[in-house]
């Protein structure tokens, strides 16, 4: 598709703030003013986010996958391939489907088919990015070998609280060179993408592609299920005027054509449960559905039989209370890990101290996932709060058990502090690349090769001070014996216990596995 060059970007629904450059918060590993280095500890963390593009699979795996598709999946894949091969028409598709209908499989089938087509063209460059796979969170992006929308398009993390910052010409050009041949953007878990970020994706692509059509002339396929929980801190993607009645309020959303997947593709036992979940979402439960769920009810007296199951609660207060209770019950090695905050800039010492004091009062959500203090206990579950490496599965929401703590002494204070944590993640593939990098260390120290090393990272925290920048260095983890319903959405867990409350909504009860 030929693209016209134009500076008149259609950003009617986007507020810009020219005075702030929130792209800086993505720069992990700034050593300037690094208190760890000053005290003799070299724990510098390099920025590892990059354009994560899934690799082409073998012919055998591809053929097996295509044979496994149901009729709707196969027809849709062929439809997209015809549009791609013709290449003269931009298209926008919304794939709607509940739990277990094979949305992730469809993404893989479409992507791998497109990749094979482009690779077969004479003179094709295998490094060219023509199709991108994204999701709103690292937890949702990792299973589909994708990237977060924030990382892919350099969007601000708190996109609902701040105006969108136009990229500097150097950054925009650098990304533009990488994406100059981009034809298709695939976004999974679209229900988690709010109206604001959707507008930002559109505006950012128009800027990067230098083209004043929706999404910069790039076609889009979005997949999801609007029966799930609404986006945090934002309107639904289709709520242009705060209306719940129509899915076409937003002019951007009105471009999308609906396709539906309805056939459950899970194995027999999972299929029955997925159907029951789907019926919860629709308010159409059968007697069999009700009986199935009743069989899974566990009384408070019998919760011990659930072993290592993660507890799911409705509120943060309930989560905090349960986490504290479990931690207190563990009679294992433990330590307190404190964050190191430091100011960079020139100004009065009194202002510096005030800025640092204010930072200590911020919530973890305001410090980009790095808490002020972490109570570490071997045997407790912890969850990643920062997207360290999406390709390696080290993303916000990845859960695992703390098995071992490494310590080092600070040279200036002689204080012994945790410097590396060894986590056994729930999914074996999580941290595989990181483990490979530490393979020799693990062999020499006879460390279990299934453990993943987690080290401190540095993030810049937004402050109101014009004189100082504040950076925090800490482990990107929080205690996770329990989590909220919202936090569990989009995750895959081996075993969970949901604490039922009468006031829970249908969307809160319906959390697709």
Query: Hey, what long-range contacts does 406-411 have (CB within 8 A, 24 or more apart)?
Result: 407/335, 408/41, 410/39, 410/40, 410/41, 411/39, 411/40, 411/41
Residues 283 and 314 in one domain: no
The residue range of the domain holding 92 is 59-240+250-261
pLDDT tens, position by position, 278-297: 787 778 889 988 888 888 88
pLDDT tens, position by position, 49-73: 357 777 889 999 999 999 999 999 9
Identify whether the C-beta of residue 7 lies closer than 8 Å to the C-beta of residue 203.
no
pLDDT tens, position by position, 345-386: 887 888 888 888 888 888 887 888 899 999 999 999 999 998
24 in a structural domain = no
Residues 292 and 314 in one domain: no
Residues 373 and 231 in one domain: no
Residue 510 has pLDDT above 80, yes or no: no
pLDDT tens, position by position, 287-336: 988 888 888 888 777 777 677 788 889 888 999 999 999 999 999 999 99
pLDDT tens, position by position, 126-179: 788 999 999 988 888 888 888 889 888 888 765 455 577 788 888 888 888 889
Residues 345 and 361 in one domain: yes
Torsions phi, psi of 469, nearest 5? -105, 140
113 in a structural domain = yes
352 in a structural domain = yes
- What distance in Å separates the CA atoms of residue 92 and residue 112, rounded to the nearest whole number? 19
pLDDT at residue 72 in the model: 93
Residues 377 and 434 in one domain: yes
pLDDT at residue 349 in the model: 84
Residues 365 and 289 in one domain: no
Residues 233 and 95 in one domain: yes
SS3 32: coil
- What distance in Å separates the CA atoms of residue 248 and residue 212, rounded to the nearest whole number? 22
Identify whether the C-beta of residue 326 lies closer than 8 Å to the C-beta of residue 380.
yes
23 in a structural domain = no
pLDDT at residue 158 in the model: 58
Residue 512 has pLDDT above 60, yes or no: no
Mean pLDDT of 255-274: 79
118 in a structural domain = yes
Mean pLDDT of 26-30: 32
Residue 243 has pLDDT above 50, yes or no: no
Q: Mean pLDDT score of the chain, rounded to an integer? A: 82
78 in a structural domain = yes
Residues 85 and 174 in one domain: yes
CATH number for the domain spanning 104: value is: 3.40.50.300
To the nearest 5 percent, what fractions of the chain are helix, strand and coil?
35, 20, 45
Identify which of 8, 48, 42 has the alpha carbon closest to the alpha carbon of residue 26: 48
Q: How many domains does the chain have?
A: 3
pLDDT at residue 241 in the model: 53
Label residue 266 exposed, middle or buried (CB < 10 Å: 0-12, 13-18, 19+). Answer: middle
- What distance in Å separates the CA atoms of residue 506 and residue 495, rounded to the nearest whole number? 21
Mean pLDDT of 271-283: 79
Residues 254 and 125 in one domain: yes
339 in a structural domain = yes
Residues 187 and 286 in one domain: no
pLDDT at residue 269 in the model: 58
Residues 279 and 186 in one domain: no
Torsions phi, psi of 210, nearest 5? 55, 50
pLDDT at residue 247 in the model: 45
pLDDT tens, position by position, 196-207: 889 999 999 999
Residue 17 has pLDDT above 60, yes or no: no
pLDDT tens, position by position, 443-466: 999 999 999 999 999 988 877 766
**Residue scoring higher pLDDT (348 or 29):** 348
Size of the chain, expressed as the number of residues it contains = 513
pTM for the whole structure: 0.78
137 in a structural domain = yes
CA atoms within 13 A on the CB side of 61: 8
Residue 6 has pLDDT above 60, yes or no: no
**Residue scoring higher pLDDT (348 or 421):** 421
Residues 345 and 484 in one domain: yes
Cβ partners under 8 Å of residue 345, min gap 6: 465, 467, 468, 469
Residue 245 has pLDDT above 60, yes or no: no
% the chain with pLDDT above 70 = 85
Identify whether the C-beta of residue 209 lies closer than 8 Å to the C-beta of residue 218.
yes
């Amino acid at each position: 598709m030929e693209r016209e060059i134009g500076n008149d970007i259609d950003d009617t629904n986007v507020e810009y703030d020219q005075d702030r450059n929130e792209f800086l918060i993505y720069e992990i590993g700034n050593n300037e003013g690094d208190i760890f280095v000053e005290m003799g500890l070299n724990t510098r963390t390099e920025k590892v986010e990059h354009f994560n593009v899934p690799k082409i699979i073998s012919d055998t795996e591809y053929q097996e996958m295509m044979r496994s598709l149901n009729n709707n999946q196969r027809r849709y894949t062929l439809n997209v391939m015809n549009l791609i091969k013709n290449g003269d028409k931009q298209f926008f598709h919304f794939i709607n489907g509940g739990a277990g209908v094979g949305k992730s499989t469809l993404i893989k089938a479409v992507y791998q088919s497109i990749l094979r087509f482009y690779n077969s063209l004479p003179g094709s460059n295998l490094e060219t990015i023509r199709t991108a796979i994204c999701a709103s969170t690292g937890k949702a992006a990792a299973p589909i070998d994708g990237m977060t929308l924030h990382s892919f398009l350099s969007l601000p993390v708190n996109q609902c609280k701040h105006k969108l910052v136009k990229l500097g010409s150097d950054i925009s050009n650098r990304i533009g060179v990488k994406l100059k041949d981009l034809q298709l953007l695939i976004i999974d878990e679209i229900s988690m993408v709010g109206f604001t970020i959707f507008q930002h994706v559109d505006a950012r692509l128009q800027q990067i592609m230098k083209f004043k059509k929706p999404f910069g002339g790039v076609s889009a396929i979005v997949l999801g299920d609007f029966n799930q929980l609404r986006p945090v801190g934002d309107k639904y993607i289709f709520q242009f005027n705060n209306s719940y009645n129509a899915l076409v309020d937003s002019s951007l959303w009105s471009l999308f054509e609906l396709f539906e997947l309805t056939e459950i593709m899970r194995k027999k036992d999972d299929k029955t449960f997925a159907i029951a979940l789907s019926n919860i979402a629709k308010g159409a439960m059968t007697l069999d559905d009700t009986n199935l769920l009743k069989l899974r009810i566990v009384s408070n007296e019998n919760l011990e039989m659930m072993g290592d199951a993660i507890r799911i609660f409705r509120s943060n207060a309930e989560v905090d209370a349960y986490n504290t209770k479990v931690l207190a019950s563990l009679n294992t090695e433990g330590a307190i890990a404190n964050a190191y905050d430091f100011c960079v800039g020139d100004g009065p010492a009194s202002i510096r101290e005030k800025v640092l004091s204010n930072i200590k009062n911020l919530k973890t959500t305001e410090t980009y996932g790095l808490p002020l203090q972490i109570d570490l206990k071997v045997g407790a579950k912890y969850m990643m709060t920062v997207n360290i490496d999406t390709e390696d599965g080290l993303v916000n929401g990845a859960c695992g058990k703390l098995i071992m703590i490494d310590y080092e002494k600070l040279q200036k204070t002689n204080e012994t502090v945790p410097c590396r944590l060894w986590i056994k993640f729930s999914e074996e593939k999580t941290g595989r690349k990181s483990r490979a990098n530490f393979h020799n260390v693990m062999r020499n120290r006879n460390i279990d090769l299934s453990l993943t090393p987690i080290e401190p990272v540095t993030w810049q925290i937004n402050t109101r001070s014009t004189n100082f920048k504040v950076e925090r260095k800490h482990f990107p983890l929080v205690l996770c014996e329990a989590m909220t319903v919202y936090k569990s959405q989009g995750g895959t867990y081996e075993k969970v216990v949901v604490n039922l409350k009468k006031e829970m909504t249908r969307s809160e009860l319906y959390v697709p596995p």
